[in-house]
Amino acid sequence: MMATPSSLVFTVRRQEAKLVVPAKLTPRVHLPLSDIDDQEGLRIHVSFINFYGGSLFQSDRDPVKVIREALSEALVFYYPFAGRLREGPGRKLIVDCTGELGILFIEADADVTLKELGVPLRPPFPYLEDILHDVPGSDGILGSPLLLIQVTRLTCGGFIVACRFNHTMCDGAGLAQFLNAVGELARGHRKPSVPPVWERNLLNARDPPRVTCTHHEFDESDVGAPLEDLVHRSFFFGSAEVEALRQLVFSDQLGRRCRSFDLMTACIWRCRTIALGLEPNEDVRVLFAVNARQKYKPNLPTGYYGVAVAFPAALTTAGMLCTQPLDYALKLVMEAKEDVTEEYMRSLADLMVLRGRPPFSGARSFFVTDLRRVGFEDVDFGWGKAYAGIARSGFGVLPSQVMRLFNIYVSGKNDKDEDGSLLLLSLPPTAMKVFEDELQRILKHGYHIQSTL
């Protein structure tokens, strides 16, 4: 019987991490990040994984060599990724581009096939440490490599590309843009089809700065206790599960306007709050990423790869959230999402400057981000498109602060090969069991939510 991913044991042979530097000389400059980029809450490293099957047409090509050379060529265009961050006055983050540094790259081989890793592939991936080596001293925010990439060959001819990136340099869309450029160069293009645009000044604070919008995501709150001994699970939401949630919406207007993200987030926020057993009068928030690239008039330039997302917060009390119909939470989520306008983003940048880049409100906050349409799966190094996914939920542990856990939606399949969405969630073991039970209760119309270890 095939080993399950959670019990699979395999050997990974890694070579020493080496720097990949730009293939040509690049400018020696100091580039400040924007006031949206260098938020305290984004000073974290985020990991994701792309899986690729073998190809008869590429059997004579080594993916490690192809990707390493393409990365070197891409860094000519995206040379800030080869730099290092330092702090200027007021803790302003600046990229020090010396022309001599680069990104960390690891070559590896694993005695396992893609099929043995799980069919369908579904996070959380228990073998993350094997296919993305945590190079000692590489995970700092200042003075550390901004990208770490490990390419692991599999015995079936497939391979894995695992990446860890500094979130202040880019958001998911920005990183996907860079990796797609690497893929184009790996396939023989002379330059990226979308030229990179730096122009971080476009998202800087105004002069003078003025906060004109409400930003509950930065409300001052008590620190709260870190969530320890977390378990990481994924839950599948297909068309049947989403339709079951839609049937619970009483308001025709909300039902017509809401999207699957709104429905799932409202439901999960409610179930999670019940699972944590909070007091009725305690404030609770849900924060989620909203891509603001199209909110600006005119839009941000095509090719802009800096952080261009906001994390608006819906706010209520645990008692109201847990006792009101789903419509209540759904309306809060939709209103918070609609709050993100160009003025909201301007106000956000101004708030960062006026309040010294405050952290996100942590206590009793639920963070979720949607990566289903970011484009990681489109990255093609010559072997076709990938199965893409964040390694697991729970990234975003900020030193000396309460743990902020980003829970994630990615595209995925269930055991019946049906397409849908996977929620990657992290909770303490007892709370996770209550969450699962509550989710099943809400979907009591006969639809089943699949949970995977």
Cβ contact 438:271 at 8 Å: yes
Give, for all 453 residues of the chain, the pLDDT tens digit.
234 455 677 899 999 999 999 999 999 999 999 999 999 999 999 888 999 998 766 678 999 999 999 999 999 999 999 999 999 998 999 999 987 789 999 999 999 998 888 766 777 777 888 999 999 989 899 999 999 999 999 999 999 999 999 999 999 999 999 999 999 999 999 999 999 999 999 999 999 999 999 999 999 876 555 556 788 888 999 999 999 999 999 888 888 889 999 999 999 999 999 999 999 999 999 999 999 999 999 999 999 999 999 999 999 999 999 999 999 999 999 999 999 999 999 999 999 999 999 999 877 899 999 988 888 999 999 999 998 766 655 544 443 333 356 788 888 888 787 889 989 898 999 999 999 999 998 887 534 444 443
Assigned domain for 291 exists: yes
Biggest CA-to-CA distance, the chain: 66
Assigned domain for 148 exists: yes
Task: Report how far residue 102's alpha carbon sits from residue 45's, in angstroms, rounded to the nearest whole number.
Answer: 17
| Total Cβ atoms within 10 A of residue 39 | 24
Task: Report how far residue 35's alpha carbon sits from residue 156's, in angstroms, rounded to the nearest whole number.
Answer: 46
pTM attached to this predicted model: 0.92
Residues 198 and 233 in one domain: no
Active site residues: 167, 380
Residues 67 and 127 in one domain: yes
Assigned domain for 277 exists: yes
Assigned domain for 211 exists: no
Residue where one domain finishes, among candidates 203, 233, 249: 203
Instruction: Give the residue from 115, 108, 117, 114 showing the smallest Cα distance to 8.
Output: 117
Assigned domain for 60 exists: yes
Task: Report how far residue 112's alpha carbon sits from residue 110's, in angstroms, rounded to the nearest whole number.
Answer: 6
Assigned domain for 217 exists: no
Residues 319 and 437 in one domain: yes
| Total Cβ atoms within 10 A of residue 262 | 22
Bond before 89 cis per omega within 30 degrees: no
Integer distance in angstroms from the first to the last C-alpha of the chain? Answer: 18
Helix crossing, 429-442 with 260-276: angle to 10°?
130
Residues 189 and 326 in one domain: no
Residue 313 has φ and ψ, to the nearest 5°, of -120, 135
Provide CB contacts within 8 A for 221, sequence distance 6+: 283, 361, 362, 363, 364, 365
Task: Report how far residue 131's alpha carbon sits from residue 128's, in angstroms, rounded to the nearest whole number.
Answer: 5
Task: Report how far residue 257's alpha carbon sits from residue 4's, in angstroms, rounded to the nearest whole number.
Answer: 40
Residues 109 and 244 in one domain: no
User: What domain range is 191 assigned to?
Assistant: 15-203
Amino acid type, 200: R
Count of domains in the chain?
A: 2
Assigned domain for 312 exists: yes
CATH number, domain containing residue 375 = 3.30.559.10
